[in-house]
Structure 1
Amino acid sequence: MIVNEIFYSIDGEGLRAGELAVFIRLAGCDLRCSYCDTGYALDGNAGTEMDIREIVEEVKGYGCRNVTLTGGEPLIHEGAQELVETLTQNGFQVNIETNGASPIGQFLFPETIITMDYKCPSSGCEESMLLENLGFLRQQDALKFVVGTAQDLERAQEILEKYRPKAMAYLSPVFGRIEPASIVDFMKEHHMERCRLQLQLHKYIWDPEARGV
């Protein structure tokens, strides 16, 4: 696998927001979202080649039980399932951040959290969404809508009402593009009690362009 970076920080979003975690960022992504904030990891060659044993040994060195597997898009990598299985066998709780365009069914281990995006219209990638993934999400998982426009908010509401996923849903503003207060107003207007507003903590703690945080 090509690993873009491994670092120790807090989860900035999702169910474990604010908790310490070791991040494994794999290089390469099959989407090109308009608001992507990890453009440095889009190229599949943007990193160092490591085998699963090397990755797990480096993660062990941080002494943290939480692991967040991210990208790029981690699920497009051959060996991703083996990596997750190996991490869980070594006692790690793995949060898998995925873009919603790859099948998630083979990653539903008891020790995993799936944090799956649904790409709203402003992303430019909504046509790539695998809608069947919505039916696989469990109560322990998270469904994230990154929203930058009113149309995005309306689409998120439509998806939640139509598919009624079991996972907790999050509305996360594109940083600097939409006011969080307007998202709260939309949630109140439409009585979205099964949804949470979530800001990307790491962008408020550190420089929004900072890496390895």
Structure 2
Amino acid sequence: MNWKFINSPYLRFLKMYINEIFLSIQGEGLYSGEKMVFIRTEYCNLRCSWCDTKYSFYEGKEMSIDEIVESARNINSGHGASWICLTGGEPLLQKDISVLVDRLSEEYNILLETSGSLDIGRFLPNHVKVKKDIDFKLPSSGMYRKFNDKNISYMEEGDYIKFVVNDLNDFNVAMEEIEKIGKNVKIVVQPVYGTDIKMLADAFIDKAPSNARLMLQEHKYIYGEIRGV
């Protein structure tokens, strides 16, 4: 997108629904440990049984892209975070998400956390500007088979598919799906917080392929289950 446009007064008229914006440590996936500004959008098209951000379904406020960018800058002032994480909810449901990505990518690296159910290329044509954390929903979520296979074709260096695992059945299904996806895609297997980690770790050691990593939700072990971290 033309830089003159994304710095123009028209941005004040482009609106998105934002649940919260905060600074924290990324606790999930391949970018765990990175300091990031999180922009959590409102709304989600799925209803996972173990979802830990159900407040994002409805709680939010309308903000212009200018306001979002300025809020991120203010929160990051003096902290030096070089990453923005677009999370939700489901960020792809925001109709002006591509404009926000264009604007933010001039100042930050961007990680998109998405449910995997929507066609990323359709909803975010400029997806090459973001790193992608793409969920693959398993049976315990109640949203199994919602994954859009097209999303695999959009994956590039630094992107990965995340399988959130709640029990051994989830794990075994994940292994079957990972085999179908192939070994050229980076995989994260993430236990639901509070599950039997040792049991899943033993299963991972026994069965997981070389392109997979077992990773925990680090922020929850640091801060517990609270908002804004």
Bucket of the pairwise TM-score, normalised by the shorter protein: over 0.9
Identity level (%): 39
1:131 maps to amino acid: D
In structure 2, C-alpha distance between the alignment counterparts of 1:182 and 1:133, rounded to whole Å:
30
Q: Note if contact 1:138-1:166 (Cα within 8 Å) is conserved in structure 2.
A: no
1:117 maps to amino acid: D
In structure 2, C-alpha distance between the alignment counterparts of 1:193 and 1:187, rounded to whole Å:
10
**Correspondence 1:41-190 to 2 at 5 A:** 41-43=56-58, 46-61=59-74, 62-63=76-77, 64-88=81-105, 90-105=106-121, 106-109=125-128, 111-164=129-182, 166-177=184-195, 179-190=196-207
Q: Note if contact 1:139-1:166 (Cα within 8 Å) is conserved in structure 2.
A: no
2:107 maps to amino acid: G
1:197 maps to amino acid: L
1:11 aligns with 2:26: yes
Q: Sort the Cα spacing of 1:159 and 1:135 in 2 relative to 1 into closer, same or farther, 3 A.
A: farther
1:162 maps to amino acid: K
Number of equivalences? 207
In structure 2, C-alpha distance between the alignment counterparts of 1:35 and 1:123, rounded to whole Å:
6
Q: Note if contact 2:136-2:163 (Cα within 8 Å) is conserved in structure 1.
A: yes
In structure 2, C-alpha distance between the alignment counterparts of 1:69 and 1:166, rounded to whole Å:
25
Post-superposition offset of 1:107: 4.2
Post-superposition offset of 1:140: 1.0
Q: Deviations along 1:130-153, whole A, 9 cap, x unmatched?
A: 122123222310210000111111
Q: Give ranges in structure 1 of 5+ residues lacking alignment.
A: none
Q: Sort the Cα spacing of 1:104 and 1:165 in 2 relative to 1 into closer, same or farther, 3 A.
A: farther
User: Which residue in 1 is equivalent to 2:3?
Assistant: none
Q: Note if contact 1:135-1:165 (Cα within 8 Å) is conserved in structure 2.
A: no
Please identify, of 59-68 and 22-31, the stretch whose mean Cα deviation from structure 2 is larger: 59-68
Q: Give ranges in structure 2 of 5+ residues lacking alignment.
A: 1-15
Post-superposition offset of 1:127: 2.8
- TM-score, reference length from structure 1: 0.92
In structure 2, C-alpha distance between the alignment counterparts of 1:114 and 1:140, rounded to whole Å:
7
- TM-score, reference length from structure 2: 0.86
1:38 aligns with 2:57: no
Greater than 6 Å deviation, 4+ residue runs: none
Please identify, of 77-86 and 180-189, the stretch whose mean Cα deviation from structure 2 is larger: 180-189
Q: Sort the Cα spacing of 1:150 and 1:17 in 2 relative to 1 into closer, same or farther, 3 A.
A: same
Could you say which structure has the higher helix fraction? 2
Post-superposition offset of 1:57: 1.4
